[in-house]
Amino acid sequence: MNNLILIISNQVYIKYAINMLISLNKYNPSQVVYALLVNVDELDKKKLLSCHKKLEVIEEKISFLDEAAEKGFLVCCRSWYVKKLMKEFKSNVFYCDVDVVFMDSISPFFDWLIEYDFAARAKTVNPKITVNAGMLWFKYSLDNIKCIDYWIDCINKIGIKWMSDQIAFNEMINKYRKKVRFGNFPIEYNGLSSKSKIIHYKSKSKKGLI
């Protein structure tokens, strides 16, 4: 079964997406990536396409009321597009924020991930699982797609706004934790450790990313 990577960017974050894809192409040139571009201009789309050999672009042109509405859409729409890619290609999906940089091949990480239905960097595991939603793994199965449907329903109940996706994911994974296998990213791929082969920059450290 194939593993797809999904990233999402608007015009504001396109420089991070370019940087991330350059790093991915360096260590994982054969990895298929889907980039959802929201209101990104044609010039930057072409720059992005030149960064990775296996990049496919999905475009959305949407008018937002304000910046908050756009940010809310960017984080929440990952749920819809994860489901879309899984159903269309019957593939596993690894979602990652564009402020991620790859430092090595991710093939060993995918070998680890395949044992789990869902995986993320857990902030807590007991009594409840809470995760950082900047990198998320979804293993293809019809049952897992039903879990994603519940994730989407939770997002819609909360509202399309910043952090809704993460709050809803936590609700979903705790509801189904006895029925699915959840993996907590190992230190080598958790995005935070100095030993990690994937670096996930946070807002405070993004200054050194570009």
Q: What pLDDT, in 10s, does the model give residues 67-99? A: 999 999 999 999 999 999 999 999 999 999 999
Give the mean pLDDT of 39-50: 97
What pLDDT, on the 0 to 100 scale, is given for residue 179?
A: 97
What pLDDT, on the 0 to 100 scale, is given for residue 210?
A: 44
User: Closest Cα partner for 12 from 123, 98, 135?
Assistant: 98
What pLDDT, on the 0 to 100 scale, is given for residue 194?
A: 77
pLDDT reading at 204 higher than 80? no
What domains sit in the chain, N to C, each tagged with a CATH number? 3-208 (3.90.550.10)
Band (203; pLDDT cuts 50, 70, 90): very low
What are the pLDDT digits (tens) for 47-69?
999 999 999 999 999 999 999 99
What pLDDT, on the 0 to 100 scale, is given for residue 202?
A: 64
**CA distances from residue 11 to 68, 76, 79, 205, 209 in whole angstroms, order as listed:** 15, 17, 20, 20, 17
What are the pLDDT digits (tens) for 140-181?
999 999 999 999 999 999 999 999 999 999 999 999 999 999
Give the mean pLDDT of 3-17: 97
Q: Are 135 and 97 in contact (CB under 8 A)?
A: yes
What are the pLDDT digits (tens) for 19-30?
999 999 999 999
